[in-house]
Amino acid sequence: MSTGIGAPADTFELIRRHLSPRLALTGSFAGRGATEVAADGCRVTLSDGRTALDFGSYAVTLLGHRHPDVLAAVRAQLDAMPTSTRSLANPTAAGAAARLAEYFRLALPKVYFGLNGADVVEVAVKLARLATGRSRVVAVRGGFHGKSLGALALTHSPLFRRGLLGTAVDVVHVPADDPDAVMREVRGGNVAAVVFEPVQGENGAAVLPVDVLRRWCADAARHGAFTVSDEIQCGLRRCGERSVALAAGLPVDAVLVGKPLGGGVVPLSALVCSEELYAPLSADPFLHSATFGGHPLSCAALPAALTAIEAAAGHGARLAAALDGALAELARRHGESIAGLRGTGLLRGIDFASPAVAGSVVVELAGAGLLVSPCLGRPATVRLLPPLVAAESDITEAADILDTAIGVAARGAM
């Protein structure tokens, strides 16, 4: 298949030479020597003409690939003004901020735009420390918040801190099932913020107990600390709700969103927060800034993305129900290989009997045409992230591919 972008062998050689030999190896292995060259909806086309069902992409493609409404909005902005002077007021960024605040029903009226999840984790922690005059942050075991040095301090797995002797933020990690954990920490003083993912994506789609989170929020507020719900992976209807925390009635001071916020077309993330947390930026808007924060192309995608997400929300609930049934049947059929099922909505984790079984399954899936997202910090778990634009027949197809792949992995483990 001719794509006009070079042969796969050339691509892998360039990756080896200029990026990473290991990236070249894993990419070649996953694609069986082919590269990705095109995508539409929940299907990716490879350089050898094969197609794959995309239930991975680390939660970015909630609307699938190349959603037409998002593409149209970005193209219109590209023709008008693709970048910003950073000196003059930009109506596209302003409109996007208002749309996002309204999307959460103005419960959190202030917005800061970044390009990826770590961007907004960093600014949330920075603002909490400045607003409180305190330095410590409480995070949760199993959580993942990014790999930049500040965000990395909040990320629990030591795998991502290998070779780094220190981090820029004083963080303590507490158990997800301990209602008293935050109270113990805030009584010790100097806590600026409590940061949690209501559904921990990298930890295999682990759902945190709402009653524990509610207690943490109350204890933090009682001692003048902010609470931040990191929903970069689980929010925006991925787990059924616009915001998992707000829908549960948790009185959080901030919600972090990203990944599908740019419609799967452009990079975009956001901190949506209270006036109190945002106060340092209200006083000095240059306290934290980034050259491409609030970029017009990304902000143009936001209204179209949110509208499309809401239009598909009901269908997403039906997909989630179909996925529940399919996964339950797989667990029944493969009880020796599947140790458990985790997650909710369209963020699901399959716990396998061992990392070796999980790795074998991922290898089989890639060759059979199903893309998933492994959990680097939980290697025995494989994530499934179907897009809202998938059909129920796609869920059935994915389950059939999984059924075969798990069977092959189980025979290989004997």
Domains and CATH numbers, the chain: 8-66+312-413 (3.90.1150.10), 68-308 (3.40.640.10)
pLDDT values of the chain reduced to their tens digit, one per residue, 414 residues: 344 467 999 999 999 999 999 999 989 888 889 999 999 999 999 999 999 999 999 999 999 999 999 999 999 999 999 999 999 999 999 999 999 999 999 999 999 999 999 999 999 999 999 999 999 999 999 998 876 766 667 767 676 655 545 556 789 999 999 999 999 999 988 999 999 999 999 999 999 999 999 999 999 999 999 999 999 999 999 999 999 999 999 999 999 999 999 999 999 999 999 999 999 999 999 999 899 999 999 999 999 999 999 999 999 999 999 999 999 999 999 999 999 999 999 999 999 999 999 999 998 998 899 999 989 889 999 999 999 999 999 999 999 999 999 999 988 766
pLDDT score recorded for residue 406: 96
pLDDT score recorded for residue 147: 63
pLDDT score recorded for residue 413: 67
pLDDT score recorded for residue 26: 86
Residue 38 burial (10 A CB sphere; 0-12, 13-18, 19+): middle
User: What pTM did the predictor assign?
Assistant: 0.93
Q: Is the dihedral of CA 332, 334, 338, 342 positive or negative?
A: negative
Residue 222 burial (10 A CB sphere; 0-12, 13-18, 19+): exposed
Instruction: Tell me how long the chain is.
Output: 414
Contact 351, 382 (CB under 8 A): no
Q: Which of 290, 307, 259 has its CA nearest to residue 96?
A: 307
Q: Taking the C-alpha atoms of 115, 121, 122 and 124 in order, what is their torsion angle to the nearest 10 degrees?
A: 110
Contact 160, 230 (CB under 8 A): no
